[in-house]
Amino acid sequence: MRLMMIPLMLAAVATASHAQSTASPTSPIEGMDHMHMGHAAHMAAMAKAQRQQQVSELGKDVMPFSLAATLHVFTKDAEGGVQQVIARDKADAKQTSLIRRHLQEIREQFLAGDFLGPSHIHGAQMPGLAELSVAKPGQISIGYEDVTGGAELAYRTSDPALVVAIHRWFDAQVSDHGKDAMVGHAH
């Protein structure tokens, strides 16, 4: 009887092993398929995920709203671009209020050349930040507007180098904020 059970147990182990090897790989990082990437790609993806987690933690020091409850949309255009922050739940009055207050505050800070908030969150080497920090008063205008569920800042300049700096700064934020940020499209 025992000898007859051995083939059955071996078949069960083989079936379980095959099912495990053909199942979709699970990943500690959402959307990462470890089975179909090389070592360098895996390490780069892990570093990016770690960076996004670090930025999320540091963001709590600067942003009063919940990063997970909001979406940041960065839309580049020929004169700079628009940064929009909206509550994922448009009916969330608390998040909407916190977003609006924060964007009004950072608008004033940025117009005064104070980019300490982004520097704290993203680091002093953040692309575009150095150029924006040394822009002379009036070189960049920053308009504020309430939108449904949040607010937006429109960055405008006629200086091509500052347009590039704004675009680089937007790209860095989209990369660093991961699933909480996205590229917008001009209408």
With tokens 């904020």, the residue in question is: 177
Give residue 41's pLDDT.
Answer: 62
Domain ranges of the chain: 64-183
Classify each residue of 27-65 as buried b or exposed e, where b means 16 or more C-beta atoms within 10 Å of its C-beta.
eeeeebeeeeeeeeeeeebeeebeebeebbebbeeebeb
CB 158 within 8 Å of CB 164: no
Consecutive 10-residue averages of pLDDT for the chain (187 residues): 46 43 43 61 56 50 74 96 96 96 94 81 79 93 97 98 96 80 76
**Residue 117 C-beta-side C-alpha neighbours within 13 Å:** 18
CB 149 within 8 Å of CB 70: no
- The one-letter amino acid code at 27 reads S
Give residue 17's pLDDT.
Answer: 43
